[in-house]
Amino acid sequence: MNVTTRVQARSLRRFRRYYPQIRELAITYEGSSEDIPIRPPDVSAQGMFINTPRHFPEGSVLAVRFRLLHSNYEVCARCEVRYCLPGVGIGVEFVDISEEARRMIEQELKQQDG
């Protein structure tokens, strides 16, 4: 991992919170129709880390869709890959997400923290 990737990983971890109970997570690489294998992510109102063995170049734009566990709210957003850990996963930042979706994620995280 180069210095830039380490700095990006640290900055994304700064606002990331682990939220293991998201349902129906799907990602689509814009311009592609293939299924992408994924495991439960870390998520925050700003972005997420998605566990996937698939490599994506930094700057790739993805569409994500997932449902929050407690509220059952469906989040749909566009995100940009900020870093990729080959064979492990990708850190993405939401670049197009509604304020309502952002608020719902924050509420869900607060509810989880109790």
- Whether pLDDT at 57 is above 90: yes
Strands 74-85 and 89-96: antiparallel
**Cβ-based neighbour number of residue 21 at 10 Å:** 10
User: Quick check: pTM over 0.85?
Assistant: no
Of 41, 38, 37, give the one whose Cα is nearest residue 21. Answer: 41
Separation between Cα atoms, residue 44 and residue 56, nearest integer Å: 20
- Average pLDDT of 5-16? 48
Query: What pLDDT is attached to residue 3?
Result: 44
Q: Which domain holds residue 11?
A: 3-113
Separation between Cα atoms, residue 47 and residue 39, nearest integer Å: 16
**Each residue of 17-52: pLDDT tens digit?**
544 456 667 777 777 766 665 655 788 999 999 888
**Each residue of 76-106: pLDDT tens digit?**
999 999 999 998 999 999 999 999 999 999 9
Domain tally for the chain?
A: 1
The distance from CA 34 to its chain's CA centroid, rounded to whole angstroms, is 18
Q: What CATH number is given to the structural domain containing 90?
A: 2.40.10.220
Query: What pLDDT is attached to residue 63?
Result: 93
**Each residue of 59-73: pLDDT tens digit?**
999 999 988 888 899
Of 30, 61, 29, 48, give the one whose Cα is nearest residue 89. Answer: 48
Contacting residues for 9 by C-beta, under 8 A, at least 6 apart: 1, 83, 85, 91
